Amino acid sequence: MSDVAIELRNVQKSFVKGQPVLKRVSLQINRGEMVALIGASGSGKSTLIRAVSGLLRTDADENGRSGTVQILGTVMQANGRVSRDAKQLRSRVGIVFQQFNLVPRLSVLKNVCFGFLGRVPGWRGTLGRFTRREKQQALLALRRVGIEEQALKRGAALSGGQQQRAAIARSLVQGSEILIADEPIASLDPSSARRVMDILADLNKSDGITVLVSLHQVEYALGYCPRTIALRDGEVVYDGPSDALTPAFLSELYGAESEELFLPGLEPTKAGGHSRPRHEAHGTARPAIRVIGTRSHRLPSEYPDGQAAPAGGN
Ligand SMILES: Nc1ncnc2c1ncn2[C@@H]1O[C@H](COP(=O)(O)OP(=O)(O)O)[C@@H](O)[C@H]1O
Ligand SMILES: [Mg+2]
């Protein structure tokens, strides 16, 4: 069994010929890692995630250097072609997006049961017929993410944070070995964001699920992910310990967006890194760095530290 969960070699993607938005990206993520993907808007995070998930075909090779995406030791796509194994591979990868994760008019339970689709006969899935056992498993998954009591509500009735948690439950039911999340907390308030990140961290630690999560909010990358990969204009410009990211690098990385980059309480250390409060427990820490982009995030500082969110809440 390969120890490598995700491997990209020379992956290039252009939407307009001659203007690649991913430029010869190579990286390797091992099983069991929890890795943050950061970068300014438009740097290629979503494109990279879609390429990894096999949802987007990358460019065919022109220079004899084949662009390859491998998942769990098997080729997902190579040289502009999605592999025959892609469908089977995709069932081992759970994906959570920023929004639109649930079918709004269907129950949360049924939405989670869709995680079984790769395994049940097509007609049953199409008709949305799931067995009692499958529903019980879906309920267990909802309990795991703390929203069991929302099971019979319609997807649309859930808050943003609850919808993300339901999407994570769906990938649990799917049996995902890798969980890829594209800005899963970008539209959430801080306490919901922490809950979602806590769940991802728990699945990583307790179940050994490999997590790749793109984050606009750098503070969460620093707080939750030991390793960060940073993209700028489609290129990997940093890949290493999150600890070693410096404020100077981050403000350069975020370019124009860093006009709104707040770096309170960050003192450069002798090692050239920076000191920041170590998180003692997930979810209660007050991160030291905030990147506020053009989006309307509410900031952690608007909440008292460690404030408990309502049960089954956001
Ligand atoms: N479907 C598409 N067609 C054309 N250009 C696209 C498409 N998707 C993304 N892009 C462009 O690719 C670049 C990277 O976008 P994206 O991967 O969405 O960045 P990020 O997720 O980091 O904000 C941007 O310049 C964006 O405009
Ligand atoms: Mg994006």
The ligand 1 atom at the shortest distance from the C-alpha of residue 43 is 22
The region of weakest confidence among 139-143, 221-225, 295-299 is: 295-299
Q: How far is the CA of 21 from the centre of ligand 1 (A)?
A: 7
Contacts of 131 (CB under 8 A, 6+ apart): none
Predicted pLDDT of residue 264: 44
Domain 4-92+178-302: assigned CATH number: 3.40.50.300
Mean pLDDT (the chain) is 82
CB 49 within 8 A of CB 178: no
Gap between the Cα atoms of 241 and 219, Å rounded: 14
- Which residue would you say has higher pLDDT here, 304 or 61? 61
Sorted by sequence, the CB contacts under 8 Å of residue 20 that are 6+ apart come out as: 12, 13, 14, 59, 234
Alpha carbons 43 and 22: distance in angstroms, whole number: 8
The distance of Cα 279 from the centroid of its chain, to the nearest Å, equals: 20
* Residue 100 Cβ contacting ligand 1 at under 6 Å: no
Is 39's C-beta closer than 6 angstroms to any atom of ligand 1? yes
In the chain, where the domains are located: 4-92+178-302, 105-176
Q: How sure is the predictor about 298, in pLDDT bands with cuts at 50, 70 and 90?
A: very low
For ligand 2, the distance from its centroid to the CA atom of residue 273, given in whole angstroms, is 27
pLDDT, position 107:
95
Q: Give residue-wise pLDDT tens across range 151-190.
A: 999 999 999 999 999 999 999 999 999 999 999 999 999 9
From the CA of 4, how far away is ligand 1's center (Å)?
A: 27
Asked whether residue 305 carries a pLDDT value surpassing 70, the answer given is no
- Residue 2: its pLDDT value, please? 75
Nearest CA to ligand 1 atom 18: 46
Q: What is the pLDDT of residue 272?
A: 34
| Residue nearest to ligand 1 atom 27, measured at CA | 42
**32 three-class SS:** coil
Query: What does the pLDDT look like over 197-249, one tens digit per residue?
Result: 999 999 999 999 999 999 988 889 999 999 999 999 999 999 999 999 988 89
What pLDDT, in 10s, does the model give residues 99-129? 878 999 999 999 999 998 876 666 666 666 7
CB atoms near residue 312 (< 10 Å): 13
**Angle at the Cα of 59 (from 117 to 21), degrees rounded to 5?**
95
Tell which wins on pLDDT, 216 or 138.
138
- pTM (2 decimals)? 0.83
- Counting atoms of ligand 1 from 1, which one is nearest the CA of 39? 22
pLDDT tens-digit map of 14-45: 999 889 999 999 999 999 999 999 999 999 99
* DSSP-derived pairing of the beta strands 93-96 and 178-182: parallel
Arithmetic mean of pLDDT, 73-88: 89
Pocket test for ligand 1, best of 11, 25, 46 (most atoms within 8 A of CB): 46
